[in-house]
Structure 1
């Protein structure tokens, strides 16, 4: 064998040994991604999570040079899709957009999966709940609404925004707790999402809704409802006239629905690092900011470590709210 061939063979063998020690195929880390990547979305096509995942996937593809194909895996109140992400091979070729429900489902006894079942890569979005009333409501400020809630018998006033035990229900429970009221002070009317709940609000069937303002936007802009406050540490730039609870009432309470990118647990560190770096480019891009801003979606960045910390905090918060509402089976 010629010397140059022997040297090449030796170098190749060393590379194989090095990557084998990491449990990777030769050249995997350096050449990742070498083929298309699947991006699992646990919710249906056309929704906010799907739309956010598709812009992220398109911009990852632009940066990393391989297709990032979005696949919707729905069912089980989010369990099916979140399970598909968690159970995939941790090789970087299946990632997914996980959502706030991963910090809720295990408290409800729907799955054993939780935030620590994944390799977190990046937090991309958070939308705090707004507090909206119908245009004909007598309550012009959130303080007036809160005073009416305190004065009313438990359950007399009605609210909605999602199903029983969903994020917007728990947001209401958290607000009640922050005011020192019982979790059921306002009765919850389950709905199939924010859109039908806002329609019901506009028609006079509800006293308030606690969904995100982007979800309520169409009804608000049609003059059929108005937003009184948001449960966030700062105002949403897309809705600058809507005050925070702290500004309006002195209550320092915030929560929200969030979306982030994660991979199965055990993803090699060098692949995770490469994906997080690319996701930060996506987040900082004008295309992403314009896309999210045009829809009123909140943009929040958290790298892998911050995303993990954020999920742990949210998991504890959701557990407290579910226990207060009598919805926890954990």
Structure 2
């Protein structure tokens, strides 16, 4: 083959490649043309998985293509969160980010932070509540805080999560906001909220921190009671529980959250399209009934507002972990 023929062939191949590129499904005006993977960094059967599968069903109905859920577990959430951040930014992989993304990099588990994502929207945030045994004499959070102040160092015990977990951070933040040393209370680590609350019901600890949905079963059994919600607004599902701000005048609030994200660099039109569909989904009666029946709080913050929310969550987690001496 002569050089001129080779050149013409190369030119033709290049032109064909250009046509294929310009008509590829990476372009927002044709998205989505195939299934969109929805990564969940936590195991099947948990709250994040359950909410993601509900969203998957409604997204499929809304877009007309499957949104299969893939659970990528391990590393205390690192593997799944990394899988989302490191996916191709073509719009065909999204995922659920959770509060834990704020603590991972502080503890040296990963270099990934909230800045490695394109924020779609926050759809759930459950504030932490402070629980005591139904047999205790504490009638308010001020009663509890007064006892902590007058007690010996680490005389009182609390539980609700692993060391440095969401409920430990919430408890430590409450103490700091009340001008009490973060380690004044001895934290008893547990594999999640459920065993921590069971320890409280059995008398093994003096109080526990967990979300209202996590404490519902033991509350209904009459074994534990909530003193306060670490939030600035009361819960619609438990309006009788006062907020920390109401009780103390302090606006410290903290809780778990879940939001849809994509890898950084996804076409902004794709993000906008997802946000438009999600704005309808979070107001869908089926979605609202699902969330209410399970006690999950509903809200919707998209784009820059969600990014600011993640930034504030990250900052609070870092400050509290440092005060606990877990990170430098």
Q: For this structure pair, what is the TM-score category when the shorter chain's length is used for normalisation?
A: over 0.9
Q: Identify which range, 292-301 or 109-118, moves more after superposition.
A: 292-301
The aligned counterpart of 1:218 is: 217
Aligned match of 2:275: 276
- Which residue of structure 2 aligns with residue 178 of structure 1? 177
1:101: how far off? 0.5
- For residue 17 of structure 1, report the CA deviation from its aligned partner: 7.0
Mean Cα deviation higher: 243-252 or 315-324: 243-252
TM-score (norm 1): 0.92
Q: Is the 8 A contact 2:161 2:192 kept in 1?
A: yes
The separation in 2 between residues aligned to 1:312 and 1:246, in whole angstroms, is 22
Normalised to the residue count of structure 2, the TM-score between the two structures is: 0.92
Offset of residue 28 of structure 1: 3.4
Q: Distance in 1 between matches of 2:321 and 2:134?
A: 31
For structure 2, the residue ranges without an aligned partner over 5 or more in a row are 1-14
Partners of 2:25 and 2:31 within 8 A in 1: no
The alignment's C-alpha RMSD in Å is: 1.5
Partner residue, 2:8: none
| Distance (whole Å) between structure 2 residues aligned to residue 222 and residue 51 of structure 1 | 24
**Residues 1:242 and 1:27: Cα distance change in structure 2 (over 3 Å):** closer
Structure 2 residue aligned with 1:255: 254
Q: Which position in structure 1 is the counterpart of 2:5?
A: none
What is the distance in 1 between the residues matched to 2:299 and 2:194? 24
Q: Residue in 2 aligned with 1:293?
A: 292
| Worse-superposed segment, 134-143 or 64-73 | 134-143
Structure-2 residue corresponding to 1:111: 110
Question: Matches of 2:20 and 2:312 in 1, distance apart?
Answer: 37
Which 4+ stretches in 1 moved above 4 angstroms? Answer: 16-20
Alpha-carbon offset, residue 278 of structure 1: 1.2
Give the drift of 1:27. Answer: 7.5
Give the secondary structure class of the aligned counterpart of 1:258: strand
Q: Secondary structure at the match of 1:68?
A: coil
* Cα separation, 1, equivalents of 2:20 and 2:231: 48
Aligned to 2:166: 167
Change beyond 3 A, Cα 1:151–1:65: same
Report the count of equivalent residues: 312
